[in-house]
Amino acid sequence: MKFGLDVLGGDYAPDATIDGAVEALAEIGENNRIVLLGPEPLIVEALRKRNISPDRFDISHQPDCIAMDEKPLKALAEKPDSGMVAGLRMLAKGELDAFASAGNSGALLAGAVTIVKCLPGVLRPCTCAWVPQEDSDAYSLLVDIGTTPDAKPEVMLQFGIIGSVYSKYILGHKNPRVALMNVGTEDGKGNLQCQASFPLLKACPHINFAGNLEPRDLFKNKAEVFVADGFVGNVLIKIIETFQQMMRKSGCKSPLFDRLNYEIYGGSPILGVNAPVILGHGISSPRAIKNMLVQSKRMCEEGVVDMLRQVTF
């Protein structure tokens, strides 16, 4: 298998991306290859400075770069020789098995939809984050975390189905409980969106629906998948990230706080498109880059996209 990486993607690229790719070599396996997409002279020189032979990787020369502040659709159209656009095109053609980037998130999301395209029946793709559970080593999934801020009830239903499949094959939950993030646990609670989404989730035969849960339940082993629209999910995940950083700065030591670190899973898959695309945090460290590539491998090995393709949306 071949896993593509956007070398110039991220605030700390190319040093962080190159270091992360080198760290990933030990876990990718001898029969798989990491494809580095970016300016070839820069990549070769960076590897040689680290005493790593360029032969350990496949290199796709892409001289351009999509900056973090560029408008997504304009950048996709005007920069075909960027690592991001080239990687997505290679993925769509089957020349890559997965692609990861910590670059412009809007461009990667737009490119995943317009180049790789959504699975049949999927209305909107979604992104997710791992959430540690306080009384076990397990993780739950929060979905969506920013892709669709104003999701319609039919889209919220699909988030539950997609999250359930990912939770089963990547997080190892045999029959994941799917909960709707809400302001109360009773049926009928919440805004119009939640009130309309609840009966759709409850009637869905593809998920194990656990009803409404509140943000206070997020870490308490009450569900394996928490469904929210992109606005609510993004607010929650940013609060979690900020809290984790505050605890680290204060010197507070706790295994749970350590497990709040997004670097553990590296980045969020863009779920609901035709091949694995991993979206990294703009501030991704080498550890996060490495784990983005490791997650790419796991998604391919577990056939997550194939499992989603079998669902009738």
Q: For the residues 153-163, what does the mean pLDDT come to?
A: 97
| pLDDT more than 70, % of the chain | 100
Question: Does the N-terminal peptide bond of residue 72 adopt cis geometry, omega within 30 degrees of 0?
Answer: no
Q: What is the overall mean pLDDT for the chain?
A: 94
Contact 196, 190 (CB under 8 A): no
Per-residue pLDDT tens digits for 4-20: 999 999 999 999 999 99
Long-range contacts of 294-298, Cβ-Cβ distance < 8 Å, separation of 24 or more: 294/24, 294/27, 294/28, 294/266, 295/170, 295/265, 295/266, 295/267, 295/269, 296/3, 296/97, 296/98, 296/99, 296/100, 297/1, 297/3, 297/27, 297/28, 297/29, 297/32, 297/98, 298/170
Is 220 a residue whose pLDDT tops 90?
yes
Per-residue pLDDT tens digits for 54-94: 999 999 999 999 999 999 999 999 999 999 999 999 999 99
pTM of the model: 0.92
Q: Note the pLDDT of residue 259.
A: 83
Q: Note the pLDDT of residue 247.
A: 81
Domains in the chain (CATH in brackets) are 2-122+272-309 (3.40.718.10), 128-259 (3.40.718.10)
Length of the chain: 313
At 246, the pLDDT band (50, 70, 90 cuts) reads confident
Q: For the residues 264-292, what does the mean pLDDT come to?
A: 94
Residues β-bridged to residue 2: 33
Q: 255 or 73, which is more confident? A: 73
Q: Pairing relation of β-strands 225-227 and 177-181?
A: parallel
Q: Note the pLDDT of residue 135.
A: 82
In 3D, which of 248, 284, 235, 237 has the Cα closest to residue 264?
Answer: 284
d(CA 247, CA 262): 14
Is 313 a residue whose pLDDT tops 80?
no
Q: Distance of CA 155 to CAs 41, 96, 149, 159, 201, Å?
A: 44, 28, 11, 6, 11
Long-range contacts of 200-204, Cβ-Cβ distance < 8 Å, separation of 24 or more: 200/153, 200/154, 200/156, 200/157, 201/156, 201/157, 201/160, 201/227, 204/157, 204/160, 204/161
d(CA 205, CA 239): 33
Classify each residue of 25-44 as buried b or exposed e, where b means 16 or more C-beta atoms within 10 Å of its C-beta. Answer: beebeeebbbbbbbbbebbb
At 194, the pLDDT band (50, 70, 90 cuts) reads very high
d(CA 231, CA 276): 23
Q: Note the pLDDT of residue 152.
A: 96
Q: For the residues 284-289, what does the mean pLDDT come to?
A: 95
Q: Note the pLDDT of residue 260.
A: 81
